[in-house]
């Protein structure tokens, strides 16, 4: 029996609520996706920052995990911390929020029949008490994900190169060029997962050719397309990993 991954749209705009059950001995890398997650792992509340490289599997002991994955650029306002401070890191929520509050929230999730729904409640209630995410950066993420260039996107939102880079660091954890690469790779993976041949997926995702996609896969994921999909096959679900 393989990994069992399920996700649904959240009440929080753009977010996804997910659960993952991993049998003992099953491991897989976590690839960059431009997002940040609030996680429930082994009775702890953790935050997964934005990745610039594949995250090594956390182990092969198996288990059940839950999380809420925030849309690119939305987590900093909710968490109260710039995304670049969490880049390529997994940190305890208690390192970001008051320990007493996190203790109460931990008890709440631990006692919930549906930990994923409890995580969603935390995020929704927190969002109601914080300022909205940077609307310009939401637009930047959407435009880059549609395949627009960084220059076109900057002009569209009325930002110069330096200002766009600075605000991108806060919102996404890295500059717009890196975000564009990450989102393009995810588009290619989604196409391959749906059965599109590698060469066609590369072009549709915005790569120059299949060799370009292969280089991006190696640089950002540390593997090849064939190596990544492996025995699961391209059509298998792609869980976010246990972070």
Q: What confidence score (pLDDT) does residue 63 get?
A: 82
Kindly state the tokens that stand for 188: 């290619």
User: Is residue 88 a part of any domain in this protein?
Assistant: yes
User: Is residue 241 a part of any domain in this protein?
Assistant: no
Which 3-state string (H, E, C) describes 186-241? HHHHHHHHCCCCHHHHHHHHCCCCHHHHHHHHHHHHCCCHHHHHHHHCCCCCCCCC
Domain residues for the domain of 51 are 4-128
Q: What is the pTM of this model?
A: 0.90
Kindly state the tokens that stand for 126: 């927190």
Domain shared by 18 and 116, yes or no: yes
Confirm if 48 and 37 have CB atoms less than 8 A apart: yes
To 10 degrees, the CA torsion angle through 104, 105, 108, 114? -170
Number of H helices, E strands in the chain: 10, 6
| CA–CA gap between residue 42 and residue 24 (Å, rounded) | 15
Q: What confidence score (pLDDT) does residue 241 get?
A: 43
Q: What confidence score (pLDDT) does residue 229 get?
A: 83
Mean pLDDT split into 10-residue runs, the chain, 243 residues:
85 96 73 96 96 72 88 96 97 97 98 97 96 95 96 96 97 98 97 96 97 96 88 50 42
Q: What confidence score (pLDDT) does residue 57 get?
A: 56
| CA–CA gap between residue 214 and residue 207 (Å, rounded) | 10
User: Is residue 237 a part of any domain in this protein?
Assistant: no
| CA–CA gap between residue 44 and residue 243 (Å, rounded) | 12
Q: What confidence score (pLDDT) does residue 242 get?
A: 42
Domain shared by 145 and 179, yes or no: yes
Domain shared by 154 and 184, yes or no: yes
User: Is residue 238 a part of any domain in this protein?
Assistant: no
Domain shared by 112 and 183, yes or no: no
Q: What confidence score (pLDDT) does residue 142 get?
A: 97
Q: What confidence score (pLDDT) does residue 26 get?
A: 65
Domain shared by 124 and 8, yes or no: yes
Find how far residue 69's CA is from the centre of its chain: 6
- Given 104, 128, 152, which residue is the final one in a domain? 128
Q: What confidence score (pLDDT) does residue 48 get?
A: 96
Q: What confidence score (pLDDT) does residue 88 get?
A: 96
Domain shared by 120 and 25, yes or no: yes
Domain shared by 14 and 90, yes or no: yes
Residue recorded with tokens 């409890």: 118
Confirm if 53 and 32 have CB atoms less than 8 A apart: yes
Number of domains, the chain: 2
Confirm if 97 and 130 have CB atoms less than 8 A apart: no
- Given 109, 128, 147, which residue is the final one in a domain? 128
- Given 83, 103, 128, which residue is the final one in a domain? 128
Q: What confidence score (pLDDT) does residue 231 get?
A: 47
Residue 176 backbone phi and psi in degrees, to 5: -65, -30
Q: What confidence score (pLDDT) does residue 2 get?
A: 64
Q: Assign residue 211 the CATH number of its domain.
A: 1.10.10.60
């Amino acid at each position: 029996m393989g990994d069992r991954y399920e996700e649904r749209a959240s009440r929080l705009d753009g977010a996804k609520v997910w659960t993952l059950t991993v049998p003992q001995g099953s491991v897989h890398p976590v690839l960059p996706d431009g997002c940040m997650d609030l996680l429930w792992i082994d009775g702890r509340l953790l935050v997964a920052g934005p990745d610039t490289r594949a995250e090594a599997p956390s182990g092969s002991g198996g288990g059940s995990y839950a999380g809420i994955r925030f849309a690119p650029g939305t987590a900093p306002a909710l968490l109260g911390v710039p995304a670049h401070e969490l880049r390529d890191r997994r940190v305890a929520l208690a390192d970001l929020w008051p320990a007493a509050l996190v203790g109460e929230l931990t008890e709440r999730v631990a006692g919930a029949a549906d930990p994923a729904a409890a995580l969603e409640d935390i995020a929704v209630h927190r969002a109601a008490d914080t300022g909205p995410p940077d609307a310009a950066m939401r637009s930047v993420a959407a435009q880059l994900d549609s395949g627009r260039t960084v220059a076109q996107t900057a002009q569209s939102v009325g930002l110069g190169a330096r200002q766009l880079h600075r605000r991108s660091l806060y919102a996404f954890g890295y500059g717009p060029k890196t975000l564009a690469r990450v989102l393009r790779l995810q588009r290619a993976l989604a196409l391959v997962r749906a059965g599109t041949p590698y060469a066609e997926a590369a072009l549709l995702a915005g790569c120059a050719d299949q060799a370009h996609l292969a280089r991006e896969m190696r640089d950002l994921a540390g593997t090849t397309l064939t190596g990544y999909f492996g025995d699961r096959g391209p059509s298998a679900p792609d869980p976010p990993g246990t972070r």
